[in-house]
Structure 1
Amino acid sequence: MQEYLIVDGYNIIFAWPEFEKFKESSLDHARSKLVAILANYSPLSGQKVVVVFDAYQQKNITGKAEFIDGVEVVYTQHGETADTLIERLAGDLSKDGLVYVATSDWAEQGIIFGRGAYRITPGELRMQVNHVKQENEELWSESKPVDSYLENRLLEKVRLKLEKWRREKG
């Protein structure tokens, strides 16, 4: 069964300490950093990730969606809130699989539960992202480069024979 993670982008940006320095100065940079974090998380977790950013008060925004490194990034249309879009997505995607919504918005939580989705808090998402990242780092740090050398995987008698041939030629 496919799993989906819908992320309330600005909600996470304003909740995670990683974005503290970007909140006032550069929301563009904060958005890019969040998408990069989730692009690393998505293939390791197996979840398809959709990040929703609110363009409710932005004029000349007709709503757009793009894929950035495997993460679907959606900007709402003028006059549409991120909550409304997230609620609609939760209902639509829950027909195809398990849906999690990362938000701390209490009003939204009741609606997404009614649409068949599960809520995770920004703190829980942060813990999951860090846990998956740590697991991956441990997995790759366990193997040593010499483990992949062919000579270390050969039978001892074959390795000795090849070594003898090499010395005779040199």
Structure 2
Amino acid sequence: MPTPAYLFVDGHSVMHAWPELKRDQRHAGRRHLARLELMKRLRTYQDMSGKQVVVVFDGTHSKRTEEREPNGLQIIYAEAATTADAILERLASRYGRTHSVEVVSADGMVRETILASGAGWTSPEMLKSLCDDADRQVGKIIAKNKSR
């Protein structure tokens, strides 16, 4: 049985890098919309790539929380005393040498730590391109099924 492939994503880093998400991220009353759109795009990518996607957000609560959608995304909210960067670095260190792991972050220091741990690194812009490709693949599948 092949080892699973993972994509670990710094949620806030991506939301600040993608222009369509950044607009909503800037307004407190609309931040949840940016998060929902990001997770929708990542679900499509996960479905098309077969990778397990784990999204990590900086948190504000006293303890770390996790959500796992059935056959879907895993979402981690860091506790207030920890950053998403620290969680991503720990995940890469734990799984980077034994699994196929890619980490998405715009932070250069995180990139260096990730690469040193044996994991791969992807920019938020490259992730956007991968998500766009996944959306196009889904569109083609839908169009093909409609024409039957």
What TM-score, normalized to structure 2? 0.88
- In the TM superposition, what is the alpha-carbon distance from 1:96 to its structure 2 partner? 4.1
User: What residue in structure 2 maps to residue 65 of structure 1?
Assistant: 66
User: What residue in structure 2 maps to residue 8 of structure 1?
Assistant: 10
User: Do the aligned partners of 2:44 and 2:134 also contact (CA within 8 Å) in 1?
Assistant: no
Instruction: Determine which structure has greater relative contact order: mean sequence separation of CA pairs < 8 Å that are 6+ residues apart, divided by chain length.
Output: 2
Q: Please identify, of 107-116 and 92-101, the stretch whose mean Cα deviation from structure 2 is larger.
A: 92-101
Q: Please identify, of 9-18 and 38-47, the stretch whose mean Cα deviation from structure 2 is larger.
A: 38-47
User: What residue in structure 2 maps to residue 129 of structure 1?
Assistant: 131
Q: Which residues of 2 match residues 76-95 of structure 1 at below 5 A?
A: 76-95=78-97
RMSD: 1.6
Identity of aligned residues (%): 29
Query: Whole-Å Cα distance in 2 between the matches of residues 28 and 5 of structure 1?
Result: 22
What TM-score, normalized to structure 1? 0.77
- In the TM superposition, what is the alpha-carbon distance from 1:67 to its structure 2 partner? 1.4
- Structure 1: where are the runs of 5+ without partners? 148-170
- Structure 2: where are the runs of 5+ without partners? none
User: What residue in structure 2 maps to residue 105 of structure 1?
Assistant: 107
Query: Whole-Å Cα distance in 1 between the matches of residues 42 and 146 of structure 2?
Result: 28
Question: Who wins on radius of gyration, i.e. which is larger?
Answer: 1
- In the TM superposition, what is the alpha-carbon distance from 1:137 to its structure 2 partner? 1.5
Please tell me the residue identity of whatever aligns with 1:62.
K
